[in-house]
Amino acid sequence: MPERITLYTAKICPFAQRAEIALAEAKAEFTPFQIDLSNKPEWYAPKVNPASKVPAIAYGGPEVPPDQPSPESVKLAESLVLVEFVADLFPNSGILSSDPVTRAQTRFFIEGVSSKLIPAWYAYFLRGASVDDLYTAAEYVQSLLPAEGFAVGKFSAADIAIAPFLARARVSLVNEIGKYPEGDGKKVWAALTSGKFARLGKYAEDLFARESFSSTFDEDYVTKAFSARFADLRSK
Ligand SMILES: N[C@@H](CCC(=O)N[C@@H](CS)C(=O)NCC(=O)O)C(=O)O
């Protein structure tokens, strides 16, 4: 029986949503605590995560208010570590297959998302780099997908790793929020989800329809938060 779990999270953050999706898939009981990233509580870094980032988990220890973390709980951080931790705590969640080959394929997909897609997305979104690198990374990810279904067949950690980023890319692009030229966003999202990227588009649809995704994604909040945080990128 897993011990008490407190998740320190923030709705805007794609990394934090990974941990939330994993916990939702596992149907885990946990206490969520929102960290305001623009005004982090002074206790957060010293008592929860020295890197001062979300997500983080306090595991075990006595029952305490989340804003008074106990030194007796174990503190864990890094979204992909937390996803695997939840998979280990809840082996029946299906987050990580028990089959060694499928586990390796899951991690291989995550590696591609981490080393190719996410850097290409941030370069385009935050720095206005060439969209071609984003298309190349998207082509690579699409090439890993099976003809239908999720990244390694059944829903897994691979899908958890990518879904929050695709969702925020959609929010950014359809609302033209980012450093790239205004007017390109909607076109780029359409390009990434149709024509030669039709398979990626169907995959994104399947991800967004998953209950563990939709119940952990507040699109209205993320849209407003993105507008507030990134609206002036083009003028810089
Ligand atoms: N590698 C980390 C990245 C986490 C991360 O960068 N989180 C951001 C929010 S999306 C954060 O907490 N940044 C600290 C800040 O904004 O002060 C992970 O996978 O968990």
Q: Does ligand 1 have an atom closer than 6 angstroms to the CB of 34?
A: no
pLDDT at 234 over 80: yes
Per-residue pLDDT at 236 exceeds 80: no
Using the mean position of ligand 1's atoms as its centre, give its distance from the Cα of residue 150 in Å: 26
Q: What is the pLDDT of residue 180?
A: 96
CATH number at 138 reads 1.20.1050.10
In angstroms, the Cα distances linking 3 to 26, 59, 213 are: 14, 7, 24
pLDDT for the residue numbered 86 = 98
49 lines ligand 1 (CB under 6 A): no
The whole-chain average pLDDT of the chain stands at 97
Mean pLDDT of the 123-141 span: 97
Residue closest by Cα to atom 2 of ligand 1: 78
Q: Of 62, 93, 124, at which residue does a domain stop?
A: 93
Question: Does 132 share its domain with 230?
Answer: yes
pLDDT of residue 215: 98
Q: Which residues contact 104 (CB under 8 A, 6 or more apart)?
A: none
What is the Å distance from ligand 1's center to 54 Cα? 5
Query: What is the pLDDT, as a whole number, of residue 174?
Result: 98
The predicted structure's pLDDT at residue 47: 98
| Confidence category of residue 111, pLDDT binned at 50, 70, 90 | very high
- Which helix (H) or strand (E) segment holds residue 121: the answer is helix 118-127
Residue 34 lies in domain: 5-93
Distances in whole angstroms, Cα of residue 6 to Cα of each of 66, 71, 135: 7, 13, 38
Total of domains in the chain: 2
Are residue 222 and residue 114 in the same domain, yes or no? Answer: yes
Mean pLDDT of 143-164: 98
What ipTM was predicted for this assembly?
0.98
Q: Which atom of ligand 1 is nearest to the CA of 54?
A: 12
The mean pLDDT value for 21-25 works out to 98
Q: Which amino acid is at 84?
A: E
Nearest protein Cα to ligand 1, atom 14: 53
Backbone angles phi, psi at 71, to 5 degrees: -65, -15
pLDDT higher than threshold 90 for residue 235: no
* Ligand 1, pocket-test mutation among 9, 54, 57, 229, most atoms within 8 A of CB: 54
